[in-house]
Amino acid sequence: MTKHNFRHIKTLSLCALIAFTTSCKDDEKKQDTMAKNENILLQEWTGPFDGVPAFDKMNVKDVKEAVERGMELGLKDIEKIANNPEPPTFENTIAAMERSGKELDRVFTYYGILSSNMSSPEFRDIQTELAPKLSDYNSKISQNEKLFQRIKAVYDASQTTSLEDDQQRVVDLTYKSFEMNGANLDAEKKKRYAEINKELSSIYTKFSNNVLHDEENYVTYLNEDQLGGLSESFTKSAAKIASDKGQDGKYAITNTRSSMDPFLTYSTERELRKKVWNNYYSRGDNGDEFDNNELIAQILKLRKERVGLMGYDNYAEWRLQDRMAKTPENAMDLMMAVWPAAIARVKEEVADMQAVANANGDNITIEPWDYRYYAEKVRQKKYDLDSEEVKQYLQLDKLTQALFYTAGRLFNYEFTPVAEGSVPVFHDDVKVWEVTDKDSGKHIGLWYLDPFAREGKRSGAWATTYRSHTTYDGPETVLASNNSNFVKPAPGEPVLVSWDDATTFFHEFGHALHFFSSNVKYPTLNGGVRDYTEFQSQLLERWLSTDEVINQFLVHYKTGEPIPAALVEKIKKASTFNQGFGTTEYLASALIDMKLHLADPENIDIDKFERETLKELNMPKELVMRHRTPQFGHVFSGEGYATAYYGYMWADVLTSDASEAFKEAPGGFYDADVAKKLVNYLFAPRNSMDPAEAYRLFRGRDAKIEALMKDRGFPVPKK
């Protein structure tokens, strides 16, 4: 399965341009340190484990001042490097940049929590106000002429006398990043470049706040007699949400994926399914002041103009040059190689569902709001697999133990809960574990888990770091977190999750393991290559269905009995089930993302473009894009996944191919030799080596598409 709701960008995507870290020891800085101490968000982290964020003291009121002060300090660091009278060297320029902006980096740990985990109207106002200022800040660094000339001097020198491998990689990545962000432009073009970025940053914020608005303001309330098909746990939590919203005695279906998806899968109320479906897929597209269509057109125009300043034909070409795919054509080729098989499978799935509907005497033609409902019926009939039955073996606590077991076997990690209250958290739901090496006991980091949905928390699941591993200024340990939106059960009830959600749980933990296992020296080398960083996490999903995990952790929540072998067999057989739906809804989004950025944005009508492009692709009418354009936050609430949504499939080719390596090994998924290569080549180096090269070291060759087609149950293309 491809997963799409993950985001693990540490801060604002604009800030990812340059790694911000610093240590400030000189006198000038001492005064600054005095001043910054007034604001808790800027302060150095204290307490156990080399210091931890003071989440318990975090206050929205401090954010604006902290960000502004952090930017001021960051710019001072940069000015000092740029104006250094000494000739440029790796140490006084590149390494010094790696050290710069540490205060702002700390503020962004809090900022990330306040925007993703604990958002509020108050914070959103601050965010809106700060977005253009942060854009200015980034421009001031990326367009600092003196700074760039120093970077260029180090880069040029390294082309004749090369540096140590990791230093060379940092130089290459830093130079490339500046070049890609307009550092080589003349003064006039640079000015326009900065204006564009500033404008974009405001539109991005507006875009995501519009989606959030529509998620919060379209709630469907059900009466007692409209609960047909829904499970007891679902109705219980729906009742609680309704009562929290002041609608006692009713049941609330919120406008988020975690509420919409199960409702559409199980509710027997077709008209209500249509309503919930419409609400969800109309987010950002309601023709009111929160409509995103015009914003998207503006974004596309500005992006095209910006890359045009640097001589690129389109945004996609500019974006993909430092990705594993390298060019839009390579990405399109992969997507179009899979697309025909995906839509052909949809036809079969619709036929199966229509047959079930007819046999039931339901006088209907399958519509998009029927897909999940009848797919579930087909699943039960064809695979005799009842998702609710499976859920009874998927308890959040046991799954968490399963993650730890997997990490223990592959990475030699041990997870120990830290004493309650010893590490500050931002909400009572958040739990913290210490990660150590099983043999040496060496401290590796802390793992924070924020499992439950709540108001102000964005939907989906994601992983992030508060602190990353580096060694260039002495070892820094990792603070990583996983965030999910499991529905919090009524008191005393266990948290039972779906197979898909359990898979996602493993996926996000894969990102965390990728953070923990880093062995890089410099912060920049922790950066991700977008079409590669989903690979490690997608690969980790595979351990959920290994025998070791199944037998020990997938046990019934009442009887404690392991999940029956027959049920496991059914799950495995059903793993290719509904791949037409899954692959098509994903690929439709990925194709639209790419095509929007290859198109001429002048006078573009977004709604029409989406409709016509899907028609040209022969998009089956029985389903929609997983993320329709007006709500496609991956692509339009920042630049993190713009022309990069294809990356999930790119990574999935690697995932399927790499998991074949385990299947072929004598020890299977726990084979010690393959696991060692996995850690050494695919996880620990992060971006300190070229991903294609790292993969070859693991596999002995490049990845092939065959395993992916097989995993999805599609015909394997003949050579």
Binding site for Zn ion (CB under 5 A): 6, 534, 537
- With respect to Zn ion, which residue has the nearer C-beta, 6 or 339? 6
Task: Work out how close the CB of 650 gets to Zn ion at its nearest, in angstroms, rounded to a whole number.
Answer: 13
Task: Work out how close the CB of 3 gets to Zn ion at its nearest, in angstroms, rounded to a whole number.
Answer: 6
Task: Work out how close the CB of 123 gets to Zn ion at its nearest, in angstroms, rounded to a whole number.
Answer: 25
Dihedral over alpha carbons 505, 511, 515, 518 (to 10 degrees): 130
Q: How many whole angstroms separate alpha carbon 604 and alpha carbon 232?
A: 47
* Residue 644: CA count within 13 A, CB half-sphere: 24
- In this structure, what token pair is assigned to residue 435? 């990660």
Dihedral over alpha carbons 293, 296, 297, 300 (to 10 degrees): -160
- With respect to Zn ion, which residue has the nearer C-beta, 620 or 647? 647
- With respect to Zn ion, which residue has the nearer C-beta, 1 or 82? 1
- With respect to Zn ion, which residue has the nearer C-beta, 9 or 154? 9
With 0-12 / 13-18 / 19 or more C-beta atoms within 10 angstroms meaning exposed / middle / buried, residue 701 is: exposed
DSSP one-letter string for 204-219: HHHHHHHHHHHHHH--
Q: How many whole angstroms separate alpha carbon 265 and alpha carbon 500?
A: 13
Task: Work out how close the CB of 511 gets to Zn ion at its nearest, in angstroms, rounded to a whole number.
Answer: 6
- With respect to Zn ion, which residue has the nearer C-beta, 537 or 687? 537
Task: Work out how close the CB of 648 gets to Zn ion at its nearest, in angstroms, rounded to a whole number.
Answer: 8
- With respect to Zn ion, which residue has the nearer C-beta, 9 or 366? 9
Task: Work out how close the CB of 317 gets to Zn ion at its nearest, in angstroms, rounded to a whole number.
Answer: 25
Q: Which residues pair with 470 in a beta bridge?
A: 476
Treating both helix axes as pointing N-terminal to C-terminal, what angle do 257-266 and 232-244 enclose, rounded to 10 degrees? 140
DSSP state, residue 464? E
- With respect to Zn ion, which residue has the nearer C-beta, 534 or 671? 534
- With respect to Zn ion, which residue has the nearer C-beta, 114 or 513? 513
Q: How many whole angstroms separate alpha carbon 393 and alpha carbon 563?
A: 6
- With respect to Zn ion, which residue has the nearer C-beta, 534 or 610? 534
Task: Work out how close the CB of 111 gets to Zn ion at its nearest, in angstroms, rounded to a whole number.
Answer: 21
Q: How many whole angstroms separate alpha carbon 47 and alpha carbon 14?
A: 30
With 0-12 / 13-18 / 19 or more C-beta atoms within 10 angstroms meaning exposed / middle / buried, residue 440 is: exposed
Residues in the chain: 719
Task: Work out how close the CB of 634 gets to Zn ion at its nearest, in angstroms, rounded to a whole number.
Answer: 11
DSSP E strands in 438-524: the ranges are: 443-452, 462-467, 478-486
Q: How many whole angstroms separate alpha carbon 463 and alpha carbon 7?
A: 7
Asked whether 52 and 423 are in contact (CB, 8 A), the reply is yes
Q: How many whole angstroms separate alpha carbon 207 and alpha carbon 210?
A: 5
Task: Work out how close the CB of 267 gets to Zn ion at its nearest, in angstroms, rounded to a whole number.
Answer: 29
- With respect to Zn ion, which residue has the nearer C-beta, 5 or 314? 5
- With respect to Zn ion, which residue has the nearer C-beta, 450 or 534? 534
Task: Tell me the residue number closest to Zn ion, measured at CB.
Answer: 6
DSSP state, residue 455? T
- In this structure, what token pair is assigned to residue 157? 């020198």
Q: How many whole angstroms separate alpha carbon 34 and alpha carbon 226?
A: 61
Instruction: Give which of 472, 657, 517, 462 is closest to 4, Cα–Cα.
Output: 462
Contacts of 620 (CB under 8 A, 6+ apart): 343, 346, 347, 350, 584
Locate tokens 């389903």: which residue? 623
Q: Which residues pair with 476 in a beta bridge?
A: 470
Q: Which residues pair with 258 in a beta bridge?
A: none
Main-chain dihedrals φ then ψ at residue 275, nearest 5 degrees:
-65, -45
- With respect to Zn ion, which residue has the nearer C-beta, 464 or 537? 537
- With respect to Zn ion, which residue has the nearer C-beta, 357 or 512? 512
Task: Work out how close the CB of 538 gets to Zn ion at its nearest, in angstroms, rounded to a whole number.
Answer: 7
Q: How many whole angstroms separate alpha carbon 346 and alpha carbon 576?
A: 12
Task: Work out how close the CB of 533 gets to Zn ion at its nearest, in angstroms, rounded to a whole number.
Answer: 7
Task: Work out how close the CB of 53 gets to Zn ion at its nearest, in angstroms, rounded to a whole number.
Answer: 22
Q: How many whole angstroms separate alpha carbon 705 and alpha carbon 696?
A: 15
Asked whether 516 and 480 are in contact (CB, 8 A), the reply is yes
Task: Work out how close the CB of 354 gets to Zn ion at its nearest, in angstroms, rounded to a whole number.
Answer: 34
Task: Work out how close the CB of 345 gets to Zn ion at its nearest, in angstroms, rounded to a whole number.
Answer: 24
- In this structure, what token pair is assigned to residue 210? 């519009």
Asked whether 196 and 305 are in contact (CB, 8 A), the reply is yes
- With respect to Zn ion, which residue has the nearer C-beta, 472 or 535? 535
- In this structure, what token pair is assigned to residue 347? 């036809």
Helix, strand, coil abundance in the chain, percent, nearest 5: 60, 5, 35
- With respect to Zn ion, which residue has the nearer C-beta, 58 or 480? 480
Task: Work out how close the CB of 687 gets to Zn ion at its nearest, in angstroms, rounded to a whole number.
Answer: 16
Task: Work out how close the CB of 585 gets to Zn ion at its nearest, in angstroms, rounded to a whole number.
Answer: 17
Task: Work out how close the CB of 5 gets to Zn ion at its nearest, in angstroms, rounded to a whole number.
Answer: 9
Q: How many whole angstroms separate alpha carbon 671 and alpha carbon 667?
A: 4
C-alpha distances out from residue 640 to 6, 365, 516, Å: 11, 39, 22
Q: How many whole angstroms separate alpha carbon 478 and alpha carbon 461?
A: 20
- With respect to Zn ion, which residue has the nearer C-beta, 55 or 505? 505
- With respect to Zn ion, which residue has the nearer C-beta, 88 or 647? 647
